[in-house]
Amino acid sequence: MRACEALITNHISFSLALGGNDVVRHPLPADPLGKASRLLVLEPEDFTAADQEVLNGIEASRRLTSLPDALRQVSPAVRVESGAAVRVFPRVARGRAVVHILNWDYDPSTDTVRSIEQLPVRLDLAKLGVGNATAATLYAPGAEPVRLDVAGGKALLRHAGLWSILEMKSPN
């Protein structure tokens, strides 16, 4: 769980694959794991012999063996530059990308999320498939869409409430 939290905090998208054991027959899925660009395996000795064989069949250069290695080697397509409690979830399609921005800074005393002012978002436009984008549109519930400039791989959100969507398109 600590590894998952660290990946989330560092805006690294991931899937979780669980193997089986002597009681639960649930082998690791070789096909999806083989297609992964990177694979973080924290406790290889805890896997069954069959699952270890699947893991060993994956190119060594794509396997990471520690959380610090993963945090050092994997560069997320989107990250928030402040220390704010924000999670980003990029989604891509041909020629366009959207980034869901969730503000998790919940204040139980008021039962609301604290708004964030001036939130810089770093974007790897090439990874998002919109390498030439120079603008984005920000959508938020109850607000009019706002056009934002994207310069140097950065967009600045003037205000972030609970949830926003940042949309970018490749120019034609």
**Model confidence pLDDT, tens digit, residues 7-17:** 888 888 888 88
* Residue-level pLDDT at 36: 85
Q: pTM to 2 decimals?
A: 0.76
Q: 45 or 100, which is more confident?
A: 100
- Mean pLDDT, range 111-135, rounded to an integer: 93
> In which residue ranges of the chain is CATH 2.60.40.1180 found?
78-169
The CATH architecture of the domain made up of 78-169 is: Sandwich (2.60)
Q: List pLDDT tens digits, range 1-57.
A: 899 888 888 888 888 888 888 888 888 888 888 888 889 988 888 889 989 999 888
Q: Does the pLDDT at position 83 exceed 80? A: no
Please, what sign has the CA dihedral across residues 18, 20, 26, 32? positive
β-sheet bridge partners, residue 132? none
Q: Determine the distance from the C-alpha atom of residue 168 to the mean position of all C-alpha atoms in its chain, rounded to a whole number.
A: 17
Q: What does the DSSP 8-state code read for residue 91?
A: E
Task: Name the token pair of 58.
Answer: 């994956």
Could you tell me how many residues make up the chain?
172
